Structure 1
Amino acid sequence: MLNLQQSLAKANLAGYIKLVVPCNADAYEASFPSQGAFRPELTQIMTQLVSFLNSNGSPFLVNIYPFLNIYQSIDFPQDYAFFEGSTHPVVDGQNIYYNAFDGNFDTLVAALNRIGYGQMPIVIGEVGWPTDGAFSANLSAARAFNQGLINHLLSNKGTPLRPGVPPADVFLFSLLDEEQKSTLPGNFERHWGIFSFDGQVKYPLNLGNGILKNARYVQYLPSRWCVANPFRDLTDVSNHMKLACSVADCTTLYYMEDYAMPLEIRETSPMP
């Protein structure tokens, strides 16, 4: 990073381009937001990183995913992941948190304050909700979360530890689905897009200046389907499945089925 910063300074771009390092929310922890701290094994390196960022006028960039709280824990209260209010608020002294986003954000604020950088600007590098690939990943939930987040940000309420000061910037994740993204964390990884792969809006979403619109004049390749070939050897079925799905989105197959058959790609006409 030092070399990059020096290069920017040499090119007289340091005032226009700010270096950042995306961090996941698991870099810090706490039972309550006000007790936020960077994990012990990361405290030294995070302090060095934050000091470097601060000295160059860069913000702290963090990715926050309340969806993962639900996905990873069946005991996590679902309404706390959204913005319509929660029957399970977190009471932290005089502060009350009604959604996971604010609680997570303020945990980071407290962690930064603990190492002497409590006023550092924070940018949300990634935040969103998938539409497929897991029980809680669907169109309704994605719309509720993203629209709730947008409305919350536009209200300029901020959070209990930063009232009236929303994040410096927020980047919704993501614009499009990524059908070849690794599914190691879960099949939902290929379905974060607000738009489908062809630029069609998945659900109504108002960013504050009107509802998103579909892409126009999209040209499509011929429709193709994966179909079972009864004349192929069944002994290598798993490898056939992995090969086909390495270049296609098989979320529906994985999510709904517990078996698979050898696949052969055939070009066909759309079903009536």
Structure 2
Amino acid sequence: MFLLPAMQNIERAVSDLGVKVSTATDTNGFSRFPPSSGSFTPDFQIFFIDPVLSFLVSKKSPPAREYLTYFTYVNNMRDLSLEYALLISNKTVVNDGSNSYRNLFLAFLDTIYAALEKSIAGSVKIVVSESSWPTSGGTAASVDNARTYVKNFIQIAKTGSPRRPERAIETYIVRFDIKLVNNCLKLIAVSVTQMALFGFVIYV
């Protein structure tokens, strides 16, 4: 695995400047439902999660994860409501023990928390490195929906999740041009020209 040596080299190069080094965590290697059952697969944890998290914890750098509820929604519209993905559902969608979830983002985030708590990282903080909603180019992509998502996302970030209440979430809301991904990978059918906020980054 080349990721960890690369992170170590970068950290040595920028440590004197006080710059933190992190990496996004892949979410293909863990179970997702219900949130409290979140856990990494054994191979993924041994060969990726444990080495990388050990390094990040030793440097007091939080792991990062981007999450766009939009793509989860458009790939599962039979099972997920638009309100749940836009963070505006007024009813509980998922019950998980003593915790309940009215929006897709917090359900996903608590799944990550649960998986991390079962790893060597324990209750490490996680940074949401990217989240947003498209303003055009696909199903349910509109300026109004993007505005709704961002407004509610900022409020959620201030209050924390059911698993970690009253613990603000460090988040970044950014513009995202999926056309570049389409041109390079040809994997995503929707062509989203803009994600919310038109290129500005908001630090919450």
TM-score class normalised by the smaller sequence? 0.7 to 0.9
Per-residue deviation at 1:182?
3.0
1:22 Cα offset (Å):
1.7
Given the alignment, which residue of 157, 160, 163 partners 2:162? Answer: 160
Q: List gaps (5 residues or longer) in structure 1.
A: 200-205, 209-272
Go from structure 1 to structure 2 and tell me whether the alpha carbon gap of 1:141 and 1:39 turns closer, same or farther (over 3 Å shift). Answer: farther
Alignment match, 1:182: 181
Contact 2:40/2:115, CA 8 A, preserved across alignment: yes
2-side partners of 1:35 and 1:132: how far apart?
A: 35
Over residues 138-169 of structure 1, what are the superposed CA-to-partner deviations in whole Å (9 max), with x where a residue is unaligned? 1121111111111222xx321111110022x2
Larger RCO: Structure 1 or Structure 2 (Cα < 8 Å, ≥ 6 residues apart)?
Answer: 2
Aligned to 2:11: 5
| Structure 2 residue 28 is matched with structure 1 residue 22 | no
Q: Supply the AA of the counterpart residue of 1:51.
A: S
Task: Tell me: CA distance 1:74–1:85, structure 2 relative to 1, closer, same or farther (3 Å).
Answer: closer
Contact 1:25 1:64 in 2 (8 A): no
Corresponding residue number in structure 2 for 1:134: 138
Aligned sequence identity (%): 24
Mapping 1:1-272, distance limit 5 Å: 1-9=7-15, 12-13=16-17, 16-44=18-46, 45-75=48-78, 76-87=80-91, 89-153=93-157, 156-167=158-169, 169-174=170-175, 178=177, 181-183=180-182, 184=186, 185-195=188-198
TM-score of the superposed pair, with normalisation by structure 2: 0.83
Unaligned runs of 5+ in 2: 1-6
Q: Distance in 1 between matches of 2:138 and 2:75?
A: 11
Distance, in Å, in 2 between the alignment partners of 1:63 and 1:179 is 14
| Contact in 2 for aligned 1:130/1:189 (Cα 8 Å) | yes
| Alignment correspondent of 2:4 | none
Query: What's the RMSD between the two structures over aligned residues?
Result: 2.4
Distance apart, 1:102 and its partner CA? 0.7
Indicate conservation of the 8 Å contact 1:173/1:192, yes or no: yes
Tell me the TM-score normalised to structure 1 length. Answer: 0.64
Query: What is the distance in 2 between the residues matched to 1:3 and 1:179?
Result: 30
Say if 2:173 and 2:203, in contact at 8 Å, map to a contact too.
no
TM superposition shift of 1:173: 2.2
> SS state of the match for residue 188, structure 1?
coil
